Amino acid sequence: MPVPGARLGRCLAEHRNVSVFEAVREPGTPCRISIARSIEPILRSSLEQEARVAATRPHPAFLRLLGYGVSGEWLWWAEEPTGPPLASLLGQPLDAAWSARAMADFALGAALLEPVRGAHLEPSMVYLDASQALRASFFDATRHVSTHRSQWARVGDATTGSLAYMAPELIEDAASARPATTVYALGAILHHMLSGERPFSARSNMDFFMKIVGEPPPRIERSSVPGALRDAVVRCLAKKPEERFASPKELAAALREI
């Protein structure tokens, strides 16, 4: 579809009724444009409200939302990532000191998210920038659309790997997200960064549910990972929210002391 003031490039991803394209905005600024089709009025209103917040509350941990609007369909455009997605680096363990430092900075940005959004953070929406800092999309509407349509439609999509980063309380009650739920997601990502493996793996959603709710994640045994850092990850992944760090800010403070 034509987008006023921009040239669309290749399609990078599609999720139900949302498509993400490489694009160039006049006068030549690279960006990513997302287009949502056939969305309900209540969701359109919600997206517009969140877009206003995202456009006026930038943070170094998030790719900037550059603009939004309506052109037949609802669309928005965001800053183009300058580095690779974090998910592409997780086939092997990453440096422990860098991982702790990068996650501490990223957690301060995650503290700005509403818990229902922070609870669904995962490596596929996180990028490295030119300075090797972690940055994510503040306004990640593919997840927003699927969450509004059906929480369990998203939970049931095991191909995304999202279950591996989802807190136990969300399986029992999708509306139970709180700051400690975001801490779990951050801890699960950090576990993957340090170990090279997701906290849990399974062949079916039911296996995932049982492991997330009933099994402790394997402890990171790398000798190069300080014990205090391993303990912090274990605390993040506690089954009960009250046994975790209370907020992403508290997690960030703990990681900076290691």
Percent of the chain with pLDDT over 70: 84
Is 144 domain-assigned? yes
Is 1 domain-assigned? no
What's the rounded Cα separation, in Å, for the pair 127 and 149? 26
Is 75 domain-assigned? yes
Do residue 144 and residue 163 come from a single domain?
yes
Backbone angles phi, psi at 224, to 5 degrees: -80, -5
Is the pLDDT at 150 greater than 60? The verdict is no
The CATH number assigned to the domain holding 239 equals 1.10.510.10
93 token code pair: 């363990």
Considering only CA atoms, which of 213, 233, 87, 217 is closest in space to residue 160? 87
Is the pLDDT at 158 greater than 50? The verdict is no
Do residue 184 and residue 249 come from a single domain?
yes
Q: Which of 50, 79, 108 is the last residue of a domain?
A: 79
Do residue 100 and residue 70 come from a single domain?
no
More confident of the two residues 27 and 140 = 27
Do residue 227 and residue 110 come from a single domain?
yes
Do residue 150 and residue 251 come from a single domain?
yes
Q: Which of 79, 102, 121 is the last residue of a domain?
A: 79
Do residue 71 and residue 126 come from a single domain?
no
Inter-residue contact 98 to 144 (CB < 8 Å)? no
Placement of tokens 């940005």 in the chain: 109
More confident of the two residues 42 and 180 = 180
**In sequence order, what are the residues at sequence separation of 6 or more whose Cβ sits closer than 8 angstroms to the Cβ of residue 157?**
none
Do residue 107 and residue 179 come from a single domain?
yes
Domain count, the chain: 2
Do residue 212 and residue 131 come from a single domain?
yes
Do residue 61 and residue 145 come from a single domain?
no
Q: Work out whether the CA dihedral 65, 80, 186, 19 comes out positive or negative.
A: positive
The CATH number assigned to the domain holding 32 equals 3.30.200.20
What's the rounded Cα separation, in Å, for the pair 199 and 211? 10
- Cβ density class 215-251: b for 16+ within 10 Å, e for less: eebeebeeeebeeebbebbbebbbeebeebbebbebb
Which residue range is the domain that position 213 belongs to? 86-256
pLDDT bin (cut points 50, 70, 90) of residue 105 is very high
**In sequence order, what are the residues at sequence separation of 6 or more whose Cβ sits closer than 8 angstroms to the Cβ of residue 39?**
17, 47, 74, 145
Do residue 121 and residue 103 come from a single domain?
yes
Is 162 domain-assigned? yes
Tens digits of residue pLDDT in 183-201: 999 999 999 999 999 998 8
Is 110 domain-assigned? yes
